[in-house]
Amino acid sequence: MSTGTDVLAATDWNRTFHAYGPGTDVPGHLALLLSDDPADRSRALDHLYSAVIHQGTVYSATVPAARYVAGVLADPRLDAPVGAASLRAHLLGFLRDAAEGVAGHLCEPAPPAPDAAERDRVHAALASDDEDEALGIWEDEVLHALMYHEAAVALRDAAPELYAAVRPHLTHHDGTTRIRAVEAAGALALLGGPAPDLSGAADMAETREEGAVIVLVMGETGGDTTEFLTHSDPAIRACAALAPGQRGNPAALAELLAAAGGPEVPDAWFAQRPAYFPGSVRAALLREAARRCGPGDAERMLPVFRALAPAAPALRAGADLGPMLEAAFPAGAPARPDRVQREYLRVLADSALPWTGAHATGFAALLERLGLPGDRDAVRALAAAGADGARPGVPAGAPTGGGRAVREPAGREPGFGAG
């Protein structure tokens, strides 16, 4: 399999495509990566991230583009800066994103491989001057089958070769380049490449960011991160606790909870946030803690529920909130909720989650599965039903028995700090 500049001539680009149609324009942009003109290099990089990978989606043109990038990584012209990082660091990030972009597809059942006639039809439609035909083909299941076989499978098959090109940069003299190389090596390992040897990168690590990325990738690729759970740096401890191999370790869960609620706000940990965290670091810690919630953890996880529920996206409600609600309501909705259950219900009722409409489907299914009411007011009433002296359907604090207001004793459970 060819890499580097050989890819430009060896690939039939007419038989590739990207987000905007045929991949025939890709070789011209790839060649500009080695241009002496900074504007050319920026345009080439923009094309990689707007067409060759588009919003995380990988296409058949992505695979030869990745092989080209792998073949030129050692070129000294890639030392040139593009923004705050070298062009080489950006291209290592491209390889990481390409690998991550196909990982989800490979978990799906493989569709039948299209035959030659079906492939011809798809490529003809993509190149058509008829806009309706060129756009309509994106709904065709044959095109999606091509994306599976010619993007996901092909990139997985190339992973060992791509890793071989990334490996020397694990010990590059530039710290940002080392970080991007570690992330790329980890993503390629998960795709089918060899487990990365991070010992050299660990020896050269100079910053919290480098240490965090190394521990994160070590955990993602099956390494044992237990020794880092007692590290002096809370960011390193939390990254160690995030490892899938730590999901049965109570000490790791305790570390996640401590980090998310500690005095140092996790979102301020990194000047250069690891790619593992596409959004808020604190939210990632809370979500992982929620996934580890088990029977008997309801009270312990209540601060996590308080933190996640108010802003939980509707599409993530099941994943983010489900484990905690299952722990809080193992037998469905009780006639008289206990103190912890009442608090879960109050937080749920006050959340911004949609209770009706198209976006409420997953959330409604979660409530139905747990035997909880599917209406905000009904949830509030159920919370009131367990309050001291309250009757089902009568809010706590409402006049009862002679008009005397019965109120729940004021009290606070330990919560997370701001952040």
CA distance 169 to 112: 38
Q: What pLDDT is stored for residue 359 in this prediction?
A: 63
Query: For 249-264, what is the mean pLDDT?
Result: 87
pLDDT score at 367: 87
Cβ neighbors of 269 (< 8 A, separation 6 or more) are 208, 212, 234, 235, 281
Show the tokens assigned to 350: 């006050």
Q: Is the dihedral of CA 310, 314, 317, 320 positive or negative?
A: negative
What pLDDT does 304 receive? 87
Q: Which residues pair with 58 in a beta bridge?
A: 53
Six token digits for residue 55? 């919003």
**Nearest-angstrom CA–CA distance, 67 and 329:** 51
d(CA 70, CA 165): 5
Q: Confidence class of residue 1 from pLDDT cuts 50, 70 and 90?
A: low
The Cα–Cα gap between 285 and 261 comes to: 10
CA neighbor of 312 nearest in space, from 240, 366, 371, 374: 366
Average pLDDT over residues 281-301: 87
CA distance 258 to 416: 9
Q: What is the pLDDT of residue 386?
A: 65
| Mean confidence (pLDDT) of the chain | 88
Average pLDDT over residues 307-321: 78
Q: pLDDT tens-digit profile of 95-110?
A: 999 999 998 888 889 9
User: How confident is the model over 326-354, as a mean pLDDT?
Assistant: 90
Task: State residue 388's pLDDT score.
Answer: 55
- pLDDT over 60 at 275, yes or no: yes
Please give the average per-residue pLDDT across 65-90, as a whole number.
Answer: 96
Please indicate whether residue 302 or residue 364 has the higher confidence score (pLDDT).
Answer: 302
Closest-CA residue to 360 (of 317, 326, 327, 303): 317
For position 358, what pLDDT does the model report? 62
Region of 403 (left: φ > 0; alpha: ψ -120 to 50; beta: rest) is left
Lowest mean pLDDT among 59-73, 116-130, 283-297: 283-297
pLDDT at 322 over 90: no
Is it the case that residue 419 has pLDDT exceeding 60?
Answer: no
Where is average pLDDT lowest: 2-11, 76-85, 165-174, 225-234? 2-11
Residue 96 pLDDT = 97
Q: Can you tell me the mean pLDDT for 199-214?
A: 96
Distance CA 144, CA 138 (A): 8
Residue 311's pLDDT band (boundaries 50, 70, 90)?
A: confident
Query: What residues contact residue 404 under an 8 Å CB cut-off, 6+ apart?
Result: none
Model confidence at 261: pLDDT above 80: no
Residue 74: what pLDDT? 96
Share of the chain above pLDDT 70, in %: 90
Query: In terms of pLDDT, which residue wins out, 351 or 353?
Result: 351
Binning pLDDT at 50, 70 and 90, where does residue 318 land?
Answer: confident
The whole-number pLDDT of residue 413 equals: 37
What's the average model confidence in pLDDT over 205-233? Answer: 96
Q: What are 115-171's pLDDT values in tens digits?
A: 999 999 999 999 999 999 999 999 999 999 999 999 999 999 999 999 999 999 999
Length of the chain, please?
Answer: 419
pLDDT at residue 113 tops 90 = yes
CA distances from 358 to 189, 312, 315, 353, 361 (A): 38, 16, 10, 12, 6
Instruction: Give whole-number Cα distances, 192 to 92, 144, 155, 245, 367, in Å.
Output: 17, 22, 9, 19, 38
